[in-house]
Structure 1
């Protein structure tokens, strides 16, 4: 694994960027991007540590996908009562950090009625929590689509789940976002599910690497089709070694991540670019203290100049 060393970090964050930026990245101006990170990247941190790091490193928001090992946020001490929810909301607001997304573990592809209901119930708890936190998004996803089920029927089931959750979210300021994840990364199928759900309460999280690592579609081509539905993004980079991906700091990998960012920028995307560092699932990758400060510097430089760091 080709990790970001402390020397690489210092070089890349002191402005020594190679002039390999994409021309289209600067065509839409150099407005500063809205930046967030996922708590997947810091599974051992307390909420205070997370918020303090966001402030120190120049982030605008966080998305919460687990907190101190508890993935069901409704059971976390930060969110398990009305008083605790109110305190957490005030704490984030006092530090000037927005909670932009709650990452549920809800999978919408299950056919078994009891399993499906359990997942939908979890998403509804997250929608209620998000509304109390003034958080606009709750993330759900498809994973490994069942091999013993007709694929189109499974995709219809996912769309139906989105409709049910959108109905539950009516009257709130919360939308349900399907992440491009697992087997649910085929562009045309994603468009079809969005069209079937057909609700202002439903949208997509475009996880660029999740899609590209499977489909190898050019990001600009994907963006053109998914643009009407993208509300949020997950940004990460990786090196591909012997057919397996190893996560590395932004700009140090093999993925066309900057092509995707340039397409979003040129297309007028106004949402958050959220750094999803999967430390929770891959404890061997770099510590958040190294990669979290690196990400805003790289993104801000790319937006201002079109330059990206040279891969190591």
Structure 2
């Protein structure tokens, strides 16, 4: 699996980088951030595409990988049979699109021990699924700080649960990505969770939330978790809204981030493939600008 992924990733990234160098002043080889790759989360833009359509549209639009959100039309769910899992794996293996992983709604803040245990066990089922279909990891959520429960108790509970699923995931070669989400979205809270979740197989999936800008600002909040970042980042449309995406890309290039930037777009364009192509070009320009900034 790792050999196929590395070789395919090199070929796809090489082709995109060479083309962009001509069209958009793309970065030079060896520059910080050159190993980052762009992909899609099937949040809204891919929610109703079946698997063959999804792979074809990613390939056409230049999306190098995809995170499959649960309960979407692609149908990659834990109830798949062994034969169905093998078919999903083959579809990705026969394409240039990397299955970055599975996006779940599993979370670990529940005061009810039975609910918490079910979420942990359901996470393990997704880990097995991701392994079987050729994915690289599983996204989970913290996801809240319930009222009438001391925050530190919940934070410790979330961190302990993450250590358990991270160890389980490591046995299957699956990374655990903790999305910055819900009532735990402020980065100081995420840092406290990660101070408990010490297993090296769990990292923070940056989610481009408004909370990122609170307190002492983006750079300070980024620095809180930069040493525990996962290999996936979620962004919305890079050229819409007031989130400082250029500054964010500067920060990722500054640490020579080598993971996936995944589009989790929220609008409803008439032609989503064309919209993905547009986002790809915006991203290329941002990375080129970030590398110029870091190089100065």
TM-score normalised per structure 1: 0.77
- 2:244 equivalent to 1:260: no
Cα-to-partner distance string for 1:182-207 (whole Å, 9 max, x where unaligned): 11122222222212121111111011
Q: Give distance in 2, aligned partners of 1:32 and 1:175.
A: 18
Q: Which residue of 1 aligns with 2:41?
A: 38
Name the SS of the counterpart of 1:153 in structure 2.
Answer: helix
Which structure has more relative contact order (CA 8 Å, sep 6+)? It is 1
Q: Which residue of 1 aligns with 2:51?
A: 47
Asked if the contact 2:67–2:101 (Cα under 8 Å) also holds between the matched residues in 1, the reply is yes
Shift of 1:212: 2.6
Name the SS of the counterpart of 2:182 in structure 1.
Answer: coil
- 2:219 equivalent to 1:220: yes
Stretches of 4+ aligned residues off by more than 6 angstroms: none
Superposed CA RMSD: 2.6
Q: Which residue of 2 aligns with 1:286?
A: 269
Q: Give distance in 1, aligned partners of 2:167 and 2:179.
A: 19
Q: Give distance in 2, aligned partners of 1:154 and 1:74.
A: 28
Q: Give distance in 1, aligned partners of 2:257 and 2:32.
A: 13
Q: Which residue of 1 aligns with 2:185?
A: 185
Q: Give distance in 1, aligned partners of 2:33 and 2:233.
A: 19
Shift of 1:251: 1.4
Shift of 1:256: 1.1
Q: Which residue of 2 aligns with 1:300?
A: 284
> If each structure's helix is expressed as a fraction of its own residues, which one has the higher value?
2
- 2:152 equivalent to 1:164: no
Q: Give distance in 2, aligned partners of 1:226 and 1:164.
A: 20
Shift of 1:65: 0.3
Shift of 1:111: 1.3
Q: Which residue of 2 aligns with 1:199?
A: 199
TM-score normalised per structure 2: 0.80
Q: Give distance in 2, aligned partners of 1:156 and 1:205.
A: 19
- 2:65 equivalent to 1:61: yes
**Counterparts in 2 of 1:304 and 1:174: CA distance versus 1, 3 Å:** same
Q: Give distance in 1, aligned partners of 2:64 and 2:39.
A: 6
- Structure 1, unmatched stretches of 5+, are 1-14, 18-26, 237-248, 280-284, 308-312
Q: Give distance in 1, aligned partners of 2:74 and 2:54.
A: 15
Shift of 1:264: 0.5
Alignment of structure 1 residues 1-312 onto 2, 5 Å: 28=31, 31=34, 33-41=36-44, 42-66=46-70, 68-69=72-73, 73-75=77-79, 80-209=80-209, 211-212=211-212, 215=214, 217-231=216-230, 232-236=232-236, 249-278=237-266, 285-287=268-270, 288-306=272-290
**Counterparts in 2 of 1:217 and 1:101: CA distance versus 1, 3 Å:** farther
Q: More deviation in 60-69 or 104-113?
A: 60-69
**Counterparts in 2 of 1:224 and 1:251: CA distance versus 1, 3 Å:** same
Cα-to-partner distance string for 1:84-114 (whole Å, 9 max, x where unaligned): 1111111112111111121111011001022
Asked if the contact 1:108–1:119 (Cα under 8 Å) also holds between the matched residues in 2, the reply is yes
Q: Give distance in 2, aligned partners of 1:71 and 1:105.
A: 15
Q: Give distance in 1, aligned partners of 2:62 and 2:52.
A: 16
